[in-house]
Amino acid sequence: MNLTLKVWRQKNPDDHGRIETYEAKDIPEECSFLEMLDIVNERIITEGGDPIHFDHDCREGICGTCSLTINGIPHSKERGITACQVHMRKFRDGDTIWIEPFRARAFPIVRDLVVDRTAFDRIIAAGGYISVRTGSAQDANALPVSKDDADASFDAAACIGCGACVAACKNASAMLFVGAKASHLNHLPQGQPEKDRRVLAMVRQMDAEGFGNCTNQYECEAVCPKSISADVIAKLNRDYAIAVAKEATTAS
């Protein structure tokens, strides 16, 4: 396959950045999108140029670091997969492909296609955990969990924190991410003691990071590589409203 790539290049966070054009020649249909970029980079380096910088780690759809916008859509138009799982057979010979980083004020560009998503880490540090004693594992039936709660928790826990939801949202909202991380714990008995404190801390940290508000247009759900349901946003809103009411009652 021979393709034309329109790639965002930016030397550092202070650089204005620009789109540059590259020819991707003799690309095997069976290779992945990131492998295609590897091939292009090898040729750029051979010719003495500066390779295209992009994030990657597992390349198996697990880690979420391959934060690319392909033809205007985070992770590409394919549903339920990350950019590293996109294969070149999904494109046609002669296609022009636009490749850009995730765009959000809370995700500043580090270089080229690499963005800084440590804002997510700070949200998790604010409350995305439970405080428990370490030691030997408890018996499996020590804390009974209903099947509905267990299923909902497992579904929310599938979130890999890639940031596609933020990149797709016109407001750069992180509600799907925060909703998934909070719901994962709030559905379980282990998460109940810190439930109110958790949602208050995580939502307030999200706001402090500069993420926008949710307007329920479901772009986040559409691009999520793990198909996280927007239902987690509704639960987060309910849990937050209850926590705020309790906080106000306690303060008065």
Tell me the per-residue pLDDT of 123-132, one tens digit each, with 9 for 90 and over.
999 999 998 7
Report the pLDDT averaged over residues 124-145. Answer: 82
Domain residues for the domain of 9 are 3-111
**Domains identified in the chain, total number:** 2
Q: Is 213 exposed, middle or buried (0-12, 13-18, 19+ CB in 10 A)?
A: exposed
DSSP, collapsed to helix, strand or coil, labels residue 114 as strand
Question: Which amino acid, 58?
Answer: C
Boundary (domain end) residue, out of 111, 136, 151 = 111
Whether residue 67 contacts residue 115, with contact meaning beta carbons closer than 8 Å, is answered with yes
Same domain, 17 and 69: yes
Residues 78 and 141 in one domain: no
Q: Is residue 140's pLDDT more than 70? A: no
Q: Given this model, what pLDDT does residue 141 score?
A: 72
Tokens representing 180 are 């998934």
Domain finish residue from 89, 111, 133 = 111
Taking the whole predicted model, whether its pTM rises above 0.85 is answered as yes
Asked whether residue 122 falls in the same domain as residue 142, the answer is: yes
Mean pLDDT score of the chain: 95
